[in-house]
Amino acid sequence: MSTRVVHFSPTPLVGAPAKLAAAQRQIGLDSTSIILSDYPEKGPIAKKFIDGALVWNGAEKHVIELISHLTSVADVIHIHNDFPADKVIWLRKHCRNSRFVYQVHSPVREGPLYTPRAEYIDLPFHAHLVVAQYQPRHYPGYIPVPNIILDSPSLHLRQCNQKLKVIFSPSHNRSGRWNAKYSERLEKAIRGLESLGKIEVVWPEKPLSPTDLMALRRTCHVSIDEIVTGAYHQISLEGLCAGNVVLNRADFFSKAMLANCNDQLEHPPFVYADEHNVEDVLLDLVLDIDKTVTIQQASHDYFCRHLAPQKLARIFSNVYEAII
């Protein structure tokens, strides 16, 4: 019998738990993602990240019964980010033999107060995981694990005399040392190059569904993640999948953590850009088609070698096997 896994997350977490559950099903695990609540109904990203998951709050009776059944027979309960006290009580009543895994996706607040939430969730966690971006430096005792991109890799190389096509699509305009995804200087640089006719820009006015956004990304040559922190986000992984040149400000440690969690030494071929040099970085790509093509190919090849969902899903199954 395959290992039965139930993922619980307070929100969709931009689809990360649902994608993980789907990847785990590809390698034979019986895995389900359950979201306590979708993003606010009137917000711009409501209903955009719930595909492949069950939404608990507001669910019909038969869905609630299904959630209860899946929980009661689960070998592993995988908690993402947080879990409210009333649901902990419910979970303890339904789980008799499950093992519990806790995973951090984002810190509770900006530093220096990085309060570990696991110790406030009254469950006997047998493994602690953290997304391998910037967070591991704040959770040194946790096992770094990757986010998963389910889309098939693609590659549409820039053609001779083709204008550089750039996509910038931050999911949130947050501020803060590690969560910032927007920069006024970046906007000025992009708009300035666009007005000069140097680049073609894809900048959605409102959040798109992951499917629509990936379809757009596949038509582009460059994906820009944020350039404010020393980190990267899921956008960067999606850019590699789409065969894009990926611009971000990921530092050595952020890139090394992605490599190390996958037991390999090769760092992702991200292109460094910050607020002060992003215009020069883009202009360099505008003028050098061969360089653009070379980096696009490197992005595609890296994704195929190291970030295939079935390969990454086995990182989690190894954790489960160790605690069951």
Q: Which residues contact 252 (CB under 8 A, 6 or more apart)?
A: 267
**Residues 203, 126 share a domain:** no
The letter for the amino acid at 291 is: K
> What's the order of all strands across the beta sheet hosting 99-104?
53-55, 30-35, 4-9, 76-80, 99-104, 125-131, 143-145
Say yes or no: 237 and 319 in one domain: no
Q: Domain span at residue 93?
A: 4-148+309-323
Domain presence at residue 153:
no
Nearest to residue 10, comparing CAs of 45, 47, 55?
Answer: 55
Q: 175 CB contacts (<8 Å, ≥6 apart)?
A: 182
In a domain, 156, yes or no: no
Same domain, 177 and 208: yes
Q: Are residues 179 and 256 in the same domain?
A: yes
Q: How far apart are CA 148 and CA 44, in angstroms?
A: 23
pLDDT tens column, 282-311: 999 999 999 999 999 999 999 999 999 999
Q: Is the pLDDT of residue 172 over 60?
A: no
In a domain, 58, yes or no: yes
At 261-279, the pLDDT tens digits run: 877 789 999 999 998 899 9
What are the φ and ψ backbone dihedral angles of 32, each rounded to 5 degrees? -135, 140
User: How long a stretch of residues is the chain?
Assistant: 324
Say whether both 168 and 143 belong to one domain: no
- pLDDT greater than 70 at residue 108: no
Q: Is the domain of 138 the same as that of 170? A: no
pLDDT band, residue 44 (cuts 50/70/90)? confident
- Give the number of domains in the chain: 2
pLDDT digits 0-9 by tens, 178-189: 455 557 788 888
Residue 157 domain-assigned (yes or no): no
CA–chain centroid gap for 235, Å, is: 7
